[in-house]
């Protein structure tokens, strides 16, 4: 319950000096600083952040907007952001948009505008121009991860290119009958990521002169269980089977691998599977994948936001952008494990 006044009187100093001493400002004698700190400790003084924020305009609070908190990518980003903010002494206010559209609009219209946030980190948020306008209207740094946002600093991976990479890997091994598991309609409404990866797939296939078969384009909800069902549909057919599957996420790739086992298909002998993500499961199941590091992306996003706060102009040391918005591509790594191999019967069919 002790306020800064009590601390001041106990330390025999003025309120102003105590405030300066405790917040590490200059122009305080070491003796006063010690006195203030001792008194504060003895009284168990913790500054009221409301009063502090009101007076100083700094909130020590950053907002994170995520579409979901269950999916691996998002919870990993969240973890990275949380870690960095905790270290910096910042609070993290979480807005989980979820499925309900009214949550979405109330977050954008009310919550984000309440001047409680120093900055906003938006993960994979697809916004209309109007919504972007609302967001920018708060005049706070905005950092976007996994999807560019006009006017915001962006941290991203090149989903399309990575999808091409993964697909080319299969093509390079000699596969021609390649299936793709992408996000389903519900997901694609809100994220462009599945479409980007699908586009990369399509482009790579076209470049290799391979035909896309409609029946080999499956959709699922980016979960193991969803892709397992999709995989059963894809592989359980009596018609011709694909010899390789490119799944738009590692979890979905694992789902496909599990479905394959159900039909007695060996991976990679009978079926090659490749994913994208770098999920922990990928290592366990020997999945070839393009590994990204969402936790690291989260850390970088938080660090970027913090840097923008220190330096609102956004030009720390002669960086490229003058308006504070910069675009960073986060490094990824193609990890070849043993879920991909040359197609079965290559010699018999081709030789």
Of residues 58 and 189, the one with the C-beta less far from DNA: 58
Residue 328: contacted member of DNA, a copy of itself, none (CB under 5 to 8 Å, by partner type): none
Return the axis-axis angle of helices 101-109 and 129-137, rounded to nearest 10°: 40
Q: Which of 31, 34, 41, 115 binds a copy of itself (CB under 8 A)?
A: 115
Q: Is 73 in the site for a copy of itself (CB under 8 A)?
A: no
Angstrom distance (rounded) from CA 132 to CA 122: 11
Angle at 346 between CA 340 and CA 350, to 5 degrees: 145
- Give me the sign of the Cα torsion angle 267, 269, 272, 275: positive
Q: Is 331 in the site for DNA (CB under 7 A)?
A: no
Contact 297, 155 (CB under 8 A): yes
**Tokens representing 41?**
């400790």
Which stretch, 71-79, 157-165, 178-186, 328-336, contacts a copy of itself (CB under 8 A)?
71-79
Torsion of CA 184, 187, 189, 190, to 10 degrees: -160
Distance CA(217)–CA(166), nearest Å, equals 16
Considering only residues 75 to 104 of the shown chain, the ones binding a copy of itself according to CB under 8 A are 75-76, 78-79, 82-83, 86-87, 89, 91-96, 98, 100, 103
Under DSSP, the state recorded for 123 is: E
User: In which element (H, E) is residue 335 found?
Assistant: strand 333-335
19 binds a copy of itself (CB under 8 A): no
**x/- contact string, 32-61, with DNA (CB under 7 A)?**
x------------x-xx--xx-xxxxx---
**Residue 63 Cα distances to 92, 218, 306, angstroms:** 6, 35, 12
Rank residues 177 and 261 by Cβ distance to a copy of itself and give the closer one.
261
Span from 11-19, 120-128, 152-160, 199-207 in contact with DNA (CB under 7 A): 11-19
Question: Residue length, the chain?
Answer: 351
Residues binding DNA (CB under 7 A):
3-5, 12-17, 19-20, 22-23, 25-29, 31-32, 45, 47-48, 51-52, 54-58
Residues binding a copy of itself (CB under 8 A):
44, 46-51, 53-54, 59, 61, 68-70, 72, 75-76, 78-79, 82-83, 86-87, 89, 91-96, 98, 100, 103, 106-107, 110-111, 113-116, 137, 223-225, 228-229, 258, 261, 280-281, 283-285
């Amino acid at each position: 319950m002790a306020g800064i006044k009590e601390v001041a009187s106990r330390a025999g100093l003025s309120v102003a000096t105590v405030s300066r001493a405790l917040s590490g400002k200059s122009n305080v004698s070491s003796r006063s600083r010690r006195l203030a700190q001792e008194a504060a400790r003895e009284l168990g003084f913790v500054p009221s952040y409301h009063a502090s924020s009101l007076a100083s305009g700094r909130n020590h609070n950053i907002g994170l907007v995520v579409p979901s908190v269950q999916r691996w990518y998002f919870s990993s980003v969240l973890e990275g952001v949380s870690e960095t903010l905790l270290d910096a002494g910042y609070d993290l206010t979480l807005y989980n948009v979820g499925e309900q559209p009214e949550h979405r609009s109330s977050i954008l219209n009310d919550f984000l505008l309440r001047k409680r946030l120093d900055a906003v980190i938006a993960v994979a948020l697809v916004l209309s121009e109007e919504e972007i306008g609302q967001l920018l209207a708060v005049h706070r740094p905005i950092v976007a991860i996994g999807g560019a946002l006009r006017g915001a600093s962006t941290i991203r991976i090149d989903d399309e290119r990575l999808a091409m990479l993964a697909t080319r890997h299969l093509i390079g091994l000699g596969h021609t009958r390649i299936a793709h598991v992408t996000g389903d309609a519900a997901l694609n409404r809100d994220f462009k990521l599945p479409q980007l990866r699908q586009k990369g797939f399509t482009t790579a296939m076209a470049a290799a002169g391979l035909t896309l078969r409609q029946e080999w384009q499956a959709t699922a909800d980016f979960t193991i269980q969803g892709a397992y069902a999709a995989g059963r549909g894809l592989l359980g057919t009596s018609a011709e089977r694909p010899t390789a599957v490119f799944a738009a996420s590692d979890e979905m790739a694992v789902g496909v691998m599990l479905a394959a086992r159900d039909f007695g298909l060996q991976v990679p002998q009978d079926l090659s599977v490749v994913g994208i993500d770098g999920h922990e499961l990928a290592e366990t199941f020997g999945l070839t994948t393009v590994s990204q590091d969402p936790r690291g992306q989260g850390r970088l996003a938080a660090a970027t936001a913090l840097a923008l706060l220190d330096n609102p102009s956004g030009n720390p040391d002669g960086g490229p952008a003058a308006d504070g918005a910069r675009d960073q591509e986060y490094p990824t790594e193609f990890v070849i494990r043993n879920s991909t191999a040359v197609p079965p019967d290559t010699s018999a069919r081709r030789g």
